[in-house]
Amino acid sequence: MNKRENGDNLWRAAGLVGVMGLDIALCILLGYFLGNWLGGSRGWVVGGILAGLAVGIFSCIVLVKYVLEDSDG
């Protein structure tokens, strides 16, 4: 097993957290616009935001799994 520097893991973790936050924010924003485009009523907008949040969380789970599998090798 190769010994890695602690600074490398710190920057990688900081980058991962930043990408996860941006990912969730963009998915929520796209969900808002999708809800606004579909009907524009409060129900469609809230539904689009919640759907965007769900997609963003799922995307972050997939991203974390990918990063953890990559770090094992």
Rounded Cα distance, 23 and 12, in Å:
16
Percent of the chain with pLDDT over 70: 85
State residue 30's pLDDT score: 97
pTM: 0.80
pLDDT at 4: 59
Residue 58 confidence (pLDDT) above 60: yes
CB neighbours of 18 closer than 8 A, spacing ≥ 6? Answer: none
| Least-confidence region, from 7-11, 57-61, 67-71 | 7-11
For 3-25, write each residue's pLDDT tens digit.
655 556 888 889 999 999 999 99
